[in-house]
């Protein structure tokens, strides 16, 4: 597996196919006017068995503009849930290869 190429493929799929949502930027200078935009793709696949099983739920990216032209592949987050219903967000560059392969197979 070429890790860098896989990450770029996932990023491109997210940018091209992701569903956009927006909400107020609570960290902005004018939270009622400033917005952040998120693109998200559903993965919804299980990985592993028993107590160590996880669900890869989504991949997502956030930007301060609708075009997402200030983002890069390293900004992608992988949203994971464990068997105790606890959520974890991993930046894609920190994600293990088996999870990357599952995401690539699902969204690309």
| Contact yes or no for 60/40 (Cβ under 8 A) | yes
Residue 3 CA to its chain's centroid (Å):
16
- The pLDDT value recorded for residue 60 is 98
* pLDDT of 28 over the 80 cut: no
Q: Quote the domain boundaries for residue 33.
A: 3-107
* pLDDT of 48 over the 80 cut: yes
Q: How many domains does the chain have?
A: 1
State the pTM of this model: 0.92
Bridge partners, residue 81, by sequence: 55, 87
Give residue-wise pLDDT tens across range 52-107. 899 999 999 999 999 999 999 999 999 999 999 999 999 999 999 999 999 999 99
For the chain, where are the E strands, in sequence order?
19-24, 35-47, 54-63, 77-82, 87-91
* pLDDT of 31 over the 80 cut: no
């Amino acid at each position: 597996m070429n890790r860098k190429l896989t990450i770029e493929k996932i990023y491109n799929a997210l940018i091209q196919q992701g569903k956009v949502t927006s909400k107020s930027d609570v960290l902005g200078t004018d939270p009622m006017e400033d917005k952040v935009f998120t693109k998200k793709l559903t993965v919804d696949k299980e990985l592993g068995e028993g107590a160590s099983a996880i669900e890869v739920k989504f991949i997502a990216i956030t930007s301060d503009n609708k075009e997402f032209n200030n983002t890069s592949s390293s900004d992608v987050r992988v949203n994971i849930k464990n068997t105790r219903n606890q959520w974890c967000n991993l930046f894609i560059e920190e994600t293990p290869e088996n999870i990357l392969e599952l995401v690539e197979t699902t969204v690309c």
